[in-house]
Amino acid sequence: MDFSLTDEQRMFRDTVYRFAKAEIAPLCEEADLKSEFSYQIWRKFGEMELLGLPFPEEYGGSGASIVMCCLAGEAVAHAGVDGGHTLAWGAHTYLCGTNIMQFGTDEQKKKYLPKLATGEWIGCMGLTEPGCGSDAAALRTTAVRKGDKYILNGSKTFITNAPLADVFVIFATLDREKKHKGITAFIVEKDYPGISTGTPMHKLGCRCSMTSEVFLEDCEVPVENCLGGEGNGWLIALAGVEWDRSTLVAPFVGGHLYMMEKSAEYANQRWAFNRPIREFQSIQNRIADMKVFLEAARLAVYRVAAAKDNGVALNPLEAAVNKVYLGDRGFQLASEAVDLFGGYGFIHEYPVERIFRDTKLGQIGGGTSDIMRMILARFMMM
Ligand SMILES: Cc1cc2nc3c(=O)[nH]c(=O)nc-3n(C[C@H](O)[C@H](O)[C@H](O)COP(=O)(O)OP(=O)(O)OC[C@H]3O[C@@H](n4cnc5c(N)ncnc54)[C@H](O)[C@@H]3O)c2cc1C
């Protein structure tokens, strides 16, 4: 058992970190204040070849391992890039792109992956509906085959990147009676007749990712855009969730590291009662707790990533442990960081305010902490 990174992995993480710190992070504060997605930042992600990181080289990607993907996510967030742009990247690459990469035909991969890899096209994935999120298999969007097309009807909500997207991976059911066995995935382009998106939603955090509803009204999808075959949508959704829980958690590690560094810096420079606040035990305990979390979270994330790289198939138990730990404990500690900054923690001047807002999504997106506990309890007791 070897927990150390290779030289190549360390160098890759450092390169991404330095690039993101110099080129992307300085643009983030203003974008977050305005709740705006920045195409300039998006192009920088593309320049660094992050948008197609795990895609095979023949489809314009870098063929990176899952550990490498996690290192990139950690490095970008550690550099101070906001949760919104990081989420936009994650939804594009890991929720849309990897579904096409894993389940697409050669034609689909050739058509979509190179454009997603450069960022010329933006991708999103629509599973959640207004009536169901946690119980995603209860989805109501329907697909009916008519000649050489499928006709989709229904709506999706909370879809990251939807207002900007060129390519949508949409889950619909061919037969609700069959429950999850009727669910099928489709690649839908923004110009297909019958697809439209709502106005971007105003959010608590991750404000620079654009989130909206997706409406499908007699939306016509060519039969060749069925992804992975009829009735295989639930397996695809589960595989997507697995990517989500093994890669999209890594930026929480990097964001926490950034927060810990900023907290330690502040504790050194802020004085109260004629001494720097670092001399107070309550402040020291908060920094120590952040370090304990960082080390444990990092081990947990890379253990799942390495297992997935080594061909271990679905690992819902460990992925759920990670998600609930990073989500719940990460949010508690972000709240502690706000406390450490006192009044300055509550206003925008320091990054902890944004980190606190962004971190909340860790307990909700991609499966709530309650659902993670439900999965864990099932494994432990049934
Ligand atoms: C910013 C943002 C971005 C998102 N991006 C995407 C995206 O790109 N694509 C996409 O498809 N979805 C996306 N989502 C949706 C997200 O995955 C869902 O919001 C999440 O899975 C929860 O579903 P829900 O909102 O319907 O909550 P509900 O399922 O309605 O849950 C409501 C409450 O009930 C609890 N609950 C539900 N069932 C159980 C149970 N069995 N046991 C215990 N408690 C339970 C939940 O934990 C929660 O507290 C996004 C959400 C947000 C906020």
Residue after which a domain boundary falls, among 122, 147, 171: 122
**Tokens 């994330």 appear where?**
301
Token pair recorded at residue 56? 């095979």
Is 313's pLDDT higher than 80? Answer: no
Q: Look at 26-40, 190-204, 301-315 and tell me which has the smallest mean pLDDT.
A: 301-315
Residues lining ligand 1, CB < 6 A? 91, 95, 124-128, 133-134, 158-160, 203, 206, 211, 361, 364-368, 370-371, 374
- Same domain for 208 and 144: yes
Domain contains 23 = yes
- Same domain for 131 and 115: no
Choosing from 99, 128, 204 the residue with most ligand 1 atoms within 8 A of its CB, the one to mutate for a pocket test is 128
- Same domain for 82 and 141: no
Choosing from 93, 125, 158 the residue with most ligand 1 atoms within 8 A of its CB, the one to mutate for a pocket test is 158
**Mean pLDDT, the chain, whole residue set:** 96
pLDDT digits (tens, 9 = 90+) for 315-358: 788 889 999 999 999 999 999 999 999 999 999 999 999 999 99
- Same domain for 281 and 198: no
pLDDT score, position 312? 79
Q: Could you tell me the pTM of the whole model?
A: 0.97
- Same domain for 142 and 102: no
Atom of ligand 1 nearest to the CA of 209: 1
Return d(Cα 325, Cα 372) in angstroms, integer: 10
Is 44's pLDDT higher than 90? Answer: yes
Domain contains 303 = yes
pLDDT digits (tens, 9 = 90+) for 6-16: 999 999 999 99
Domain contains 244 = no
pLDDT digits (tens, 9 = 90+) for 60-81: 999 999 999 999 999 999 999 9
- Same domain for 136 and 111: no
- Same domain for 128 and 91: no
Total structural domains within the chain: 3
Distance 363 CA to ligand 1 centre (A): 9
Distance 126 CA to ligand 1 centre (A): 13
- Same domain for 136 and 80: no
Distance 132 CA to ligand 1 centre (A): 8
Distance 133 CA to ligand 1 centre (A): 4
Residue after which a domain boundary falls, among 71, 100, 122: 122
- Same domain for 191 and 170: yes
pLDDT score, position 314? 58
Domain contains 240 = no
Is 382's pLDDT higher than 80? Answer: no
CATH number at residue 299: 1.20.140.10
pLDDT digits (tens, 9 = 90+) for 277-291: 999 999 999 999 999
pLDDT score, position 242? 80
pLDDT score, position 127? 97
Is 265's pLDDT higher than 90? Answer: yes
Domain contains 213 = yes
Structural domain harbouring 91: 7-122
Domain contains 243 = no
Residue from 371, 369, 368, 334 nearest 158 by CA: 368
pLDDT digits (tens, 9 = 90+) for 180-208: 999 999 999 999 999 999 999 999 999 99
Residue after which a domain boundary falls, among 122, 148, 179: 122
- Same domain for 132 and 116: no
Mean pLDDT value across residues 368-382: 93
Distance 237 CA to ligand 1 centre (A): 14
CATH number at residue 48: 1.10.540.10
Domain contains 174 = yes
Is 264's pLDDT higher than 90? Answer: yes
Domain contains 363 = yes
The answer to whether 50 and 16 are in contact (CB under 8 A) is yes
- Same domain for 200 and 129: yes
CATH number at residue 199: 2.40.110.10
pLDDT digits (tens, 9 = 90+) for 248-259: 789 999 999 999
- Same domain for 271 and 195: no
Share of the chain above pLDDT 70, in %: 99
